[in-house]
Amino acid sequence: MCKLGVLTSGGDAPGMNACIRAIVRYGIKRELEIIGIRRGYAGLLDSDFVKLDNRAVGNIIQRGGTFLGTARCEEMKTKGGVNKAVQNLQQEGIGGLITIGGDGTFRGAMALAKAGNIRVIGIPSTIDNDIYGTDYSIGFDTATNTALNAIDKIRDTAGAMHRAFFVEVMGRTRGFIALDVGIAGGAEQILIPETETNIDKLCQSISSSIRKGKRSTIVIVAEGDEAGGVFPVAQQVWERLRLEYRICVLGHIQRGGSPTARDRVLASKLGSAAVDAFISGRSGEMVGEVNGQIELTPLENTWRKRKKLDKSLIRFMEELAS
Instruction: Give catalytic residues, as residue numbers.
Output: 128
Residue 73 DSSP label: -
C-beta closer to ligand F6P: residue 126 or 297: 126
Nearer to ligand F6P, 255 or 264 (CB): 255
> Between residues 85 and 143, which has the closer beta carbon with respect to ligand F6P?
143
At its nearest, how many Å lie between ligand F6P and the CB of residue 142? 12
Question: To which H or E segment does residue 34 belong?
Answer: strand 32-37
Between CA 227 and CA 109 the distance in angstroms is 34
Which segments of the chain does DSSP mark as H helices, in order?
A: 16-29, 40-45, 79-92, 103-115, 140-161, 176-184, 199-211, 230-241, 261-279, 299-304, 312-320
φ/ψ (deg, to 5) at 298: -55, 135
CA distance 63 to 305: 32
18 burial via Cβ count (<10 Å: 0-12, 13-18, 19+):
buried
Q: Which residue's CB is nearer to ligand F6P, number 140 or number 278?
A: 140
Binding interface with ligand F6P (CB under 6 A): 11, 72, 102, 126-128, 170-172, 223, 255
> How many whole angstroms from its chain centre is CA 167?
19
Say how far apart CA 284 and CA 42 lie, in whole Å: 21
